Structures are given as C-alpha cells and as structure tokens.
Amino acid sequence: MFPRTENRMQLALALVIGLLLVANLFTLTLVALTPATRASRAPVLFTVFVITLVVSVPTILLLPRWLLRPYRQLVDEAERAPVATSSTREKTRDETEFVLETFQEVVAQLRAKQRELEALGARAAARAASAEQFSERVVASLPSGLLAFDARGHVTVINAPARALLEAEGETAGQSFERLLSRAPELAGLVERCLRTGELFRREEVTAEGAGGRVRRLGVTVAPVDPQPREGARGVLCMLSDITEVAQLREAVTRKKNLESLGEMSAGLAHEFKNALATLHGYAQLFQNSKLDEDASDAAAAALLHEVRNLSEMVTSFLNFARPGPLDFGDVALAELFRACAFDLRALFDERGVALEIEGEFAEVSADERMLRQAVLNLLRNAAEAITDESAERRVNVRAAHERDAAGVTWARVEIADTGVGINVSDLQRVFIPFFTTKSKGHGVGLALAHRVVTDHGGTLSAANSPQGGAVFTVRLPVLNALSMD
C-alpha cells in the first residue's frame, strides 16, 4: 500500500530520497560502463545494482511513512481536538497548516482557561480570607471561652473569654495544654483523655483556681476535632463557661429544698411519735384503773406491746434511712431477685386480690443484694397497696429492659406500674421524703428508703403517672456486663 503524500513535507522527503538513490544508480552505471572495470567487475556491479534497486524502492515507499509517524499522530490528534476550527470550517488541505491552526486554537483556549482559573483562584482566595476573618470575628465575639489544641496538645486558638477564665497571660500560641491548664487540673485531664482516646465529654463541671485562691466552677465540653483520625492525628476543641454563680444558686436551692424536706420529715416524725405516745398514754391510763379484769388487762398489754413494736420499727426504718450501713456489693441477677420478692409478697397480693406480672429482659447488676431486695419489696408492696378496693382492674406489671445513653453507659431499667388512682401532681416530688404518706396506714419511710438504696447504687428512682392510669416507678441501675448484652 502506497503511503499518502497529500502534504508537502512527506512528498518533499520522498523526492529527496528518490533523487539520492537515482544518483547512486547513475554513479554505479558510469562505473560499470568504464572500460577498465567492465570486464573484471561487471558481475559484482550488476549484483550491487540489483540489491540497490530492491532496497531503494521499499525505502522510498516506507521510510517517509516511518519518519513521519509522529507527525501523523499529531495530525490525528489535531483532527480529534474539540476546537472551533474543526466544527466551523473545513480542514485546510495542507496538513501542516491544519495542525498549526488547530494548536493555535488549543493554545488560545488554554490561555482563556488559565485566565478563568486565575480569576477563580483570586475569588477563592478572597472567599478564604473573608471566611478566615469571619471565623476570627466569631471566635472573638463568643461569650463563652473557646480553646483549640492540635494533635500534640499545643494551643492553636484561644479567645478573650477563655483567657479571662483561665487567667492566661502573655503569648499562649503553641503552649502545651498542661502548662495552660495548670490551674484547672480536672480540665487538663479531660483534654488528655480526649487527645488519647477521642472520648467526648459533654457539660462536665470542673474547678479552676484563680489568683488569691479564688475557685471558679466551669462548665466545659471537650470534643475531638476528628473522632476517627488517620495516623493518630487528633485535635481537641474546648468550650468553657463560668457557672460559679449558677452552681452557688443551685446549691442554695438544694439546701432550701433539703430544709423543706427536713421540715416535712420532722413534722411527719413528730406526728408519728405523737400518735404512738398518745396510744401508749391511753393504755397506761387503762392500767391505772384497778377495776380491769385479767382478760382486759392482757388485751391492753398486748395492744401496748404491739404499739411499742410499731414505734420500734418506725425508729429502725428511720435510722436505716438516716445512717445506712456500708454496702456489700456482689453480682445480682435482677430476674431472680424480683421472683424472690414476688414469692415473699404472695400473701399480700392474694389478700388484696392483685395480680403480679413480671416480664421483659432482666440484666445483671453489681449491688448489695440485701439492701436492693429491701428496696424492691418496698416498691412492690407500695404498688399493691396503691390499688384501692374500688379499682376494677387489679394488676401490678413489672417490665424490664436495658438501654444505652448518649455517653455509652448501659442501664438496666425496671418499671413497676400499678392500676391504682395514681399520684397527685403536687405530690410527685414529695413521695420520696421520709414520713410523707397519703395512706391511712404506714409511716412513709418505704419509698424514701428505696430511693436512698437505688441512689447509693449509682442508679435513679423516679415516679410518674401512666397515661392508662395508675403510678409508674422506674428503677435504673448500671449494668454489670454491658458487653455481653450487645
């Protein structure tokens, strides 16, 4: 197949090679026709002539094509280039001119794109500068303290409120968190743990010592900048706020509530003692009456002894609440504990005609089994006694489950719901006060003692009214082996 010669460069190259070969053949012919060499070298010259001819013809045909292969590739790329030349007018007959025009168009477009990129880069730089200025203004205007540390624990950002709260002076950029937070060791510990593990701390309360020994109460949130860093690179962001006045006000309110609770407890205790003493006084007057026969005297003595026992039980319950003994922790299966308590109270539930249903997924907790058993007995007994004789539905439901909070702690939750009349809204916050009771019988210490026991185990006990009617008491205790329940 003959090569294309539609461009002048390829045609000129082929002509030059052809002329050189023709000149070579002409020289060989002259040498061959010389009389001195005709006879002796004629066969050799003829052979050389034939070889030269055989080599020359393919060379003339293929050498230009081989030499111009890169040029052909360049032309093909120019034909495929998406420029205006290929779409608005026909290709120039001369390939060299076409390639030149095409690449001129490409260069022009590249320059235009370069100008667009430069404009975009300038706008991006302006936006970045504006965003940085805006971020600086936001950080500076924050009413709360803001601290940022890099992966090595060195300060990168600190605003004016943070300086004031930590009483930081001088240049702090690049300072280690240990040095900056030397007056707030609790906060330094949170930052160290967050840098090491990526743990998030929300609304923690720490103390910071200021000049002159003044102690501040700080509310802090410590969060990792990158919770899942690559190669261990993790920064930390801290938000600080001064809650000293809030904490003092909260403590004052707590003291006020404690005094109110103490007043109600004292009034209840005095009322119980007054009733008991009045009863004892009445029986004592009976004994002074010498006209009592033996049977009446024995009955009065038995009643007197019963009243003394009630008074002793009340004092014992109060002492258990006021001065609880040390807890003996061990592994306690809540399912077995509730079944045992249900068995102990079977007579009470049968007497009142109340059904007890226990269901759900019970967990295993670390607790003092004796104290926790007493608390559960008080809660179940209170639920059964809360169902009045007029209640049509007579049932106590115990539902168990486990849940995980935002901090990742797994809790065992047990709800004890009755079908009674519920609790007055005004009394929901008072049911755990000792000697507060709405019953005609009882001392009002059972719920207070149950609340104290659950709280001492690191849990919570709350009371609420169910939308279906009746009261619901919810016990939450930390789970012993949370991993085994996942």
Give the domain range for residue 388.
330-485
- Give the three-class secondary structure for 437: coil
How open is the CA angle 107-113-118, to the nearest 5 degrees? 125
DSSP designation for 479: B
- Element housing 145 (H / E): strand 145-149
- 388-to-25, 415, 418 alpha-carbon distances in Å: 133, 20, 11
Please name which of 9, 3, 13, 7 lies closest in space to residue 92, comparing C-alpha atoms: 7
Rounded to the nearest 5°, which phi and psi values hold at 397?
-105, 130
Q: For residue 369, report the phi and psi dihedrals to the nearest 5 degrees.
A: -60, -40
Distance, CA of 481 to chain centre: 21
- Indicate if 449 and 338 belong to the same structural domain: yes
Count CA atoms within 13 Å of residue 8 on its CB side: 6
Give the span between the Cα atoms of 145 and 164, in whole angstroms.
8
Residue 288, domain CATH: 1.10.287
Residue in the structure block whose two tokens are 């939450």:
476
Same domain, 274 and 222: no
Q: Are residues 172 and 255 in the same domain?
A: no
**Structure tokens given for 437:** 């009771």
Which residues have C-beta within 8 Å of that of residue 367, sequence separation ≥ 6? 327, 329, 330, 332, 457, 477
**Could you tell me if 201 and 151 lie in one domain?**
yes
d(CA 400, CA 114): 69
What are the structure tokens assigned to 369, written together? 């089994």
In a domain, 115, yes or no: no
Check if the beta carbon of residue 159 is closer than 8 Å to that of residue 139: yes
Q: What distances in angstroms separate CA 106 from CA 34, 53, 93, 203, one per listed residue?
A: 60, 45, 19, 61
CA–CA distance, 44 with 40 (Å, rounded to integer): 9
Q: 350-372 burial by CB neighbour count: b if 16+ within 10 A, else e?
A: eeeebebebebebbbbbbbbebb
Asked if residue 118 belongs to a domain, the reply is no
Name the token pair of 352.
């009142």
Q: What is the dihedral of CA 87, 89, 94, 95, to 10 degrees?
A: -10
Residue 450 CA to residue 456 CA, distance in Å, equals 10
CATH number at 406 reads 3.30.565.10
**Domain termination residue (choose one: 191, 224, 242):** 242
**Cβ of 58: how many Cβ atoms within 10 Å?**
9
Residue after which a domain boundary falls, among 219, 242, 265: 242
> What are phi and psi for residue 380, nearest 5 degrees?
-65, -40
Q: pLDDT tens string for the chain (486 positions)?
A: 444 444 565 666 667 666 766 666 666 666 556 665 555 666 666 666 667 666 666 666 666 666 666 666 766 666 666 665 444 445 445 666 766 777 778 788 888 888 888 888 888 887 877 766 666 666 556 667 888 888 888 988 888 888 888 888 777 778 888 888 888 888 889 988 888 888 888 888 888 887 766 788 888 989 888 766 665 557 888 888 888 888 778 777 766 665 565 565 666 666 666 666 777 767 676 666 656 666 666 676 777 777 777 777 666 666 665 566 677 888 999 999 999 999 988 988 999 899 999 999 998 999 988 889 888 988 998 899 888 888 888 999 999 998 887 767 889 999 999 988 888 887 777 777 766 666 656 566 778 788 888 888 888 888 888 888 888 999 999 887 644 444
Question: Same domain, yes or no, for 458 and 477?
Answer: yes
Indicate the length of the chain as a whole number: 486
Do 255 and 316 share a domain, yes or no?
yes
- Residue whose token pair is 């590249």: 110
Residue 434 lies in a domain: yes
